[in-house]
Amino acid sequence: MHRYSRLALFLSLSLGVSNLLAAQPSRPRPEASFVRVSPRDTRYFELSSGRPYIPIGLNMIAPPSSDEEQGFKQMEEWMQDLHENGGNFFRIWLSNGFFDVEHEKSGFYDPAMAKRIDRVLDMAARNELRVKLTLEHFRHFFREEQKWAAKPLHHVSQGGPAADESDFFSGQASREQFKRKLDWFAGRYGSNSTVFAWELWNEINAVRGQGWEDWTAVMLGELHTRFPKNLVTQSLGSFDTDRVREKYRWLALLPKNDFAQVHRYLDLGASLEICHGPVDRLAADAVKELLALNPGKPVILAESGAVEPRHTGPFKLYAKDKAGIILHDVLFAPFFAGAAGAGQIWHWDQYVAANNLWFQFRSFAEAVRGIDPPAEDFRPVEISHDRLTVRALDGRKTILIWCRDKANNWTTELANGQPPEILPHALLGLAPAIRLPGKARVLRFYDPWTDKWSKGETDGTTVVLPAFSRSLVVKIER
């Protein structure tokens, strides 16, 4: 064969292979591990390789632009910022218009749109991020309010299988069609380790229909069958009223729900008073509510942040929060209250990216660097202090303590414009909440606002804290 003919054949074969690979769904890296509930301590996660996994990330539902290239350019920038600052997790909605494969007709799944999902998973893998994939979010078919939550194509008048929202959950035709949708996703992503978890619905109790409880129990089982290596879960609306307490109890204890999630925001229109106060307290309280049920599974604050009364928009004081005190509290408070990971903020674009607050993820990642929660058998405790809110994780080898100044919160700093005070050498008493046999081997302080570690000492009963403002982490190695 002539050398130019051989070259042409080689190029043709190469292009053919490239096109074939481009047409294939996203595939995980061969060496990657799946995230699972740790068999060493079912309150925490780990990788299937046995290494610990503490989710550090946020909701990143979709890009602001409907243009594909502009949208992915923005998402890649966010992913890079998150990765470079120690993050390892984010969430998207597959039902958002940017990713929705079921956008033309009920039961028809557009492979061209699926390539966008492939692309975002590939981008996530390159940035060493895991992704929670939320399958659906609609709340009604035709209503005028909350148009972002409408999905009329499932109604019988539009060629869909359901007469109304309740029929979508209870009707046999709708159920069988949803299972076929799960089959379709399983065919593309059933072995993808970049997927942190499959989430059935965003805040399913907000749907204007009945029967979602039984539907959830059935479909979680269907997800387990199709994605045996991935976690599966469900979510409810914001825990801002007593009315949802029993719903949260039911879902947290549902055996097929791999981990318990809670949504809670700073919301001055909420009926629960806890939602009006300091963000660290409302975030920690939400986690403690679920832990008190003793679900025997990981608990995550999966949505949080601050909103205008009754979720009428992003918090008007976000623009003033250049230091990221709201994000800081959302990240730290849940974990130190016993959650399996950092809390996950909602307003990724209008707050986190707008204020360039990615460094807050780095601060949390640094505070927990080298920690293996399943190996520690952590016991969350609170230490009484007149000036500080002190939450601690008392472990076999390590004691992690987060001290938060009670005199500093969103009201003082953002609403009243009062700068944080410097606390000079506060005394922290460990007993009786934490007992140390004599002196600890190593005691260090981490200031998340300066990103600096310093050394300290303890007599086993008290700790003299260095000067700090807002918050401080204490790490004691037994």
- pLDDT tens for the chain, 478 residues long, are 443 334 343 334 443 433 333 334 554 453 479 999 999 999 999 999 999 999 999 999 999 999 999 999 999 999 999 999 999 999 999 999 999 999 999 999 999 999 999 999 999 999 999 999 999 999 999 988 898 999 999 999 999 999 999 999 999 999 999 999 999 999 999 989 999 999 999 999 999 999 999 999 999 999 999 999 999 999 999 999 999 999 999 999 999 999 999 999 999 999 999 999 999 999 999 999 999 999 999 999 999 999 999 999 999 999 999 999 999 999 999 999 999 999 999 999 999 999 999 999 999 999 999 999 999 999 999 999 999 999 999 999 999 999 999 999 999 999 999 999 999 999 999 999 998 877 667 899 999 999 999 999 888 899 999 999 999 999 999 8
The answer to whether 387 touches 426, Cβ cutoff 8 Å, is yes
pLDDT at 459: 87
pLDDT at 7: 38
pLDDT at 185: 98
> What pTM does this model have?
0.93
CATH number belonging to domain 381-477 = 2.60.40.1180
pLDDT at 2: 41
pLDDT at 22: 36
pLDDT at 144: 81
pLDDT at 437: 78
CATH among 3.20.20.80, 3.30.300.180, 1.10.10.10, 3.40.50.10860 for 22-375: 3.20.20.80
Distances (CA, A) of 442 to 22, 458, 466: 52, 9, 16
* Number of Cβ atoms within 10 Å of the Cβ of 29: 12
What are the extents of the domains in the chain? 22-375, 381-477
pLDDT at 182: 98
pLDDT at 141: 96
- Of 59, 78, 56, the closest CA to residue 364 belongs to 56
